[in-house]
Amino acid sequence: MNRLLKVSVIVAVVLCFGGVIYAADSNEFGQLLSKIKTYDFDKSRVDCIKVSDMIREASGKPEMKGMEKQLDAFLESDATYAAKDFVCRELSIAGTEASVPALASMLTDEKVSDIARYALERIPGPAVDDALRKALPKAEGKAKIGIINTLGVRGDKKAVESLAKLTNDANETVAVAAVAALSRIDDQGATDAIARAKDKATGAIKTAALDAYLRCADRLAAKGQKNAAGAIYKELYAANEPMIVRVAAARGMIETAGDKTGEVVVEMLKSADKPIQTVAIATLKEVAKTDVIKAAMEQIPNLEAIQQAQLISALADCGDKVALPTVLAAAKNSHDFVRVTALRAMGTLGDVSSVDMLVAAAVSSGGEEQKAAQESLYRLRGPDVDDAILKKLPDAEPKAKVELVRSCEQRDIKKSVPVLMKTAKDADAKVRIESIKALRALAGPQDIPALIELQLAASGNDRGELEKTVVVVSKKIPEDKGQGQAVLAALPLAKDLDAKCSLLSVLGKIGDESALPVLREALGDKDDQVKDAAVRALSDWPTATPAADLLKVAQTSENQVHKTLALRGYVRLAGLKSNRPAEETMKMYKDAMALAADVSEKKMVLSGLGSTDSFEAMQMAESYLGDKELKEEAEAAVMKIAEERAKNSPRISAQTKDILQKVIDGTTNESVREQAQKLLKQGK
């Protein structure tokens, strides 16, 4: 007796203790729920968020059971729609079968049926299905359709009979929903019901049934039941079904044909219906077996040009080289778009044996066809393609040579450099130019002496292109490793003035500072041609380092051409990006303006000034607003500077506003005025 009492007391204490803890949590949760009873969509969500957080915290813990009970009770309370909507959303994630009674009671009420379903559809367990099935006959309108939809989503096999009956419903929306729901239920009875609906129905219900039947077949196929799936596809492939259904069925037939895939593909390629031919071609990649590809290839002569082109592309996508002879033959097709397609396919399927054919096509055609041949030549895969190209290059005809040289560049064949050095001296001008351009991409620093040799021996356009090549290749050397050394070393080799000037020009574009003394010395050369070359080279310099040299020439030269060239170069260098203080840049422009001899030179200075991001530059430009001849350039410079400054600082200073107002008042250019007004408006 004592022992029993003891045990009873312990149990009571435990229960009581547990109850106290539960009550504490439960109270907090309950209080929150009371608060949200009046929640509406335009109110604060703070308490709802707290409820959500508590539910998430309780997920998988024993206390969730009690909380769920409170949520269910909440649904039966007089809470607002918004509050119940919120609770249903919570139950959709945290709810269990325990919530079914509360939710099921809402199902037939069209006002709240959707929110109840929102929860029920996601809650697992047969009790939910039972409740939905039970509600179905009592529900009407949208509530009924919603229940049908949810039964489908849940794949409830026990609902098949009821849903099957509803496929005959007088309400078309209900019948369509029933058909769609049946298609989501993995059950033979459901599939049979859809088949019956397909045969009996018309209009939207028939369309839905055909789609549903296809999805049943797809599911069977995915489960490996290819015969059953194939039978449905075959039934739907019948000539009297809509073409889009036949197309889908044809795809299914091919995918489930197993060993007979080739036969099915051929049968479809022989079809009188182009869409069927097309779907057979489209599906080829998914069933890409060599025997099927071969069977399809044999049908090419029987296809119209459009389908031929489509099939050739499909063959390329399959990537099986067995198709190469067919593609080669198609490259000679009488239809240009078939030829283009075949030439493009060669890039994927071709190999070393395709080089001649692609070169010939690139040489003999133009437009898209030539582009296709060229691109495929550039893309041909295989370890021996590059060697084949190099082997053919020296003895090819000029036009073929051009194509082969281009392919060396595009294929990045570094080992082609010695060959290209030779073709850069070819008798054919186009071959030479293409070779020099290819060398620009492929040659390395070790090739610079040879390139300079070519440069010095060349003339005219060739020399110009070679100068560019020497510059580009020299710049492949790291900046601190003497980019101009090879050119400097070659200077003594220049046999005539033209050659020397050509090298000086290259030195200017490279911009290696160790070349500056040489160029400065050349400024004082006794020969005007050399001086001219030196001024131009310094003007091309990539940084402002030789600016002072150019200024000096502009100030002191007695040769007007050199003066002009130097001033132009000086303004160019002033405009290059630099870390020097803004006032130094301003001084450069002021010096340049002081030296500008005529209107065109002044315009040039103002144009350069426009790239300077400083208020002083704007003021300088402003000072020319009243000059009739320079007004236009001055306005442009002011606007350019002002806009650039506005990007960094939207607030416009009073002084800038004054200048802009001056532009507005004085300009005759409407666009400039609008631009200035817009800036002023933005800056307010």
Partner 1 sequence: MSENNKVNRRGFLKTAAGVAAGAITIPYIVPSSVFGADGSVAPSNRLHVGMIGVGGQGTWDMRGFLDKSETLVVAVCDIDVKHQKLAKAETDLKYGNSDCKTYLDFRDVIARSDIDIISTAIPDHWHSIPAIMAAEAGKDIYGQKPLARTIKEGRAICDAVKRYGRIWQTGSWQRSVYNFRRACELVRNGRIGKVHTVEVGLPTGSTRGNESIKPVPEGVDWDMWLGPAPWVPFRGILHWDWRWIMDYSGGQMTDWAGHHIDIAHWALDLEHTGPVEIEGHGTYPKDGIFNVPYQYKVTTKYANGLTMIIANDRQLPHGMGACFYGDKGWLHVTRDEPIHAEPKSVVDEVIGPNEIHLYESKDHFQNFLDCIKSRRETITPAEIAHRSLTPALLGEISMLTGRKLKWDPEKEAIIGDEEASRMLSRPMRSPWHLYM
Give 247 or 606: the residue with its C-beta nearer to partner 1. 247
Q: Does 382 interact with partner 1 (rule: CB under 8 A)? A: yes
End-to-end alpha carbon distance in the chain: 93
| Least separation in angstroms between CB 141 and partner 1 | 8
Q: Does 460 interact with partner 1 (rule: CB under 8 A)? A: no
User: CA–CA distance from 458 to each of 447, 454, 519, 562 (Å)?
Assistant: 17, 6, 22, 26
Rounded CA-CA distance 210/252 in Å is: 14
Rounded CA-CA distance 481/483 in Å is: 6
Helix axes 367-379, 336-349, angle to 10 degrees: 10
Q: Does 436 interact with partner 1 (rule: CB under 8 A)? A: no
**Dmax (CA) of the chain:** 132
Rounded CA-CA distance 392/384 in Å is: 12
Residues between 488 and 527 with contacts to partner 1, criterion CB under 8 A:
none
Q: Do 184 and 165 form a contact (C-beta atoms < 8 A)?
A: no
Give 251 or 640: the residue with its C-beta nearer to partner 1. 251
Instruction: State which of residues 90, 146, 640, 667 lies at the interface with partner 1 (CB under 8 A).
Output: 146
| Least separation in angstroms between CB 89 and partner 1 | 8
The alpha carbon dihedral of 472, 473, 476, 482 has a sign of negative
Q: Does 90 interact with partner 1 (rule: CB under 8 A)? A: no
Q: Does 153 interact with partner 1 (rule: CB under 8 A)? A: yes
Q: Does 238 interact with partner 1 (rule: CB under 8 A)? A: no
The alpha carbon dihedral of 356, 357, 363, 364 has a sign of positive
The alpha carbon dihedral of 678, 679, 682, 684 has a sign of negative
In one letter, which amino acid is 277? Q
Instruction: State which of residues 25, 97, 114, 453 lies at the interface with partner 1 (CB under 8 A).
Output: 114
Residues between 50 and 69 with contacts to partner 1, criterion CB under 8 A:
56, 59
| Least separation in angstroms between CB 335 and partner 1 | 5
Rounded CA-CA distance 485/462 in Å is: 22
Q: Does 167 interact with partner 1 (rule: CB under 8 A)? A: no
Applying CB under 8 A, the span of 21-29, 137-145, 523-531, 676-684 interacting with partner 1 comes to 137-145
Q: Does 429 interact with partner 1 (rule: CB under 8 A)? A: no
Neighbouring residues of 585: CB distance < 8 A, sequence distance ≥ 6: 574, 578, 612, 614, 617
Instruction: State which of residues 33, 54, 58, 115 lies at the interface with partner 1 (CB under 8 A).
Output: 115
Instruction: State which of residues 37, 43, 392, 475 lies at the interface with partner 1 (CB under 8 A).
Output: 43
Instruction: State which of residues 84, 99, 104, 152 lies at the interface with partner 1 (CB under 8 A).
Output: 152
| Least separation in angstroms between CB 24 and partner 1 | 23
Applying CB under 8 A, the span of 90-98, 351-359, 585-593, 663-671 interacting with partner 1 comes to 90-98
Distance of CA 335 to the CA centre of its chain: 33
The closest of 129, 134, 200 to 169, measured between CA atoms, is 200
Residues between 273 and 312 with contacts to partner 1, criterion CB under 8 A:
273-279, 281-282, 284-285, 305-306, 309-310, 312
Q: Does 234 interact with partner 1 (rule: CB under 8 A)? A: no
User: CA–CA distance from 521 to each of 433, 549, 566 (Å)?
Assistant: 33, 11, 15
Mark 547-558 as b/e (b = at least 16 C-beta within 10 Å). Answer: bebbbebbeebe
Instruction: State which of residues 108, 162, 167, 341 lies at the interface with partner 1 (CB under 8 A).
Output: 341
Instruction: State which of residues 113, 374, 469, 675 lies at the interface with partner 1 (CB under 8 A).
Output: 113
Q: Do 174 and 148 form a contact (C-beta atoms < 8 A)?
A: yes
Applying CB under 8 A, the span of 344-352, 445-453, 494-502, 554-562 interacting with partner 1 comes to 344-352
Rounded CA-CA distance 554/479 in Å is: 29
Residues between 190 and 209 with contacts to partner 1, criterion CB under 8 A:
207-208
One DSSP character per residue, 30-80 reads: HHHHHHHTT--TTS--HHHHHHHHHHHHHTTSTHHHHHHHHHHHHHTTT--
Instruction: State which of residues 35, 37, 69, 122 lies at the interface with partner 1 (CB under 8 A).
Output: 122
| Residue 143 in tokens | 């509530």
| Least separation in angstroms between CB 612 and partner 1 | 25
Q: Does 42 interact with partner 1 (rule: CB under 8 A)? A: yes
Q: Does 411 interact with partner 1 (rule: CB under 8 A)? A: yes
Q: Does 671 interact with partner 1 (rule: CB under 8 A)? A: no
Applying CB under 8 A, the span of 139-147, 451-459, 645-653, 655-663 interacting with partner 1 comes to 139-147
Instruction: State which of residues 35, 69, 89, 662 lies at the interface with partner 1 (CB under 8 A).
Output: 89
Q: Do 118 and 149 form a contact (C-beta atoms < 8 A)?
A: no
Rounded CA-CA distance 257/234 in Å is: 11
Q: Does 248 interact with partner 1 (rule: CB under 8 A)? A: yes
Instruction: State which of residues 108, 326, 348, 585 lies at the interface with partner 1 (CB under 8 A).
Output: 348
Instruction: State which of residues 80, 105, 149, 545 lies at the interface with partner 1 (CB under 8 A).
Output: 149
Instruction: State which of residues 128, 135, 166, 372 lies at the interface with partner 1 (CB under 8 A).
Output: 372
Q: Does 558 interact with partner 1 (rule: CB under 8 A)? A: no
Q: Does 94 interact with partner 1 (rule: CB under 8 A)? A: yes
Q: Does 334 interact with partner 1 (rule: CB under 8 A)? A: yes
Applying CB under 8 A, the span of 129-137, 341-349, 569-577, 657-665 interacting with partner 1 comes to 341-349
Instruction: Give one word for 580, left, alpha or beta, with left for phi > 0 and alpha for psi -120 to 50.
Output: beta
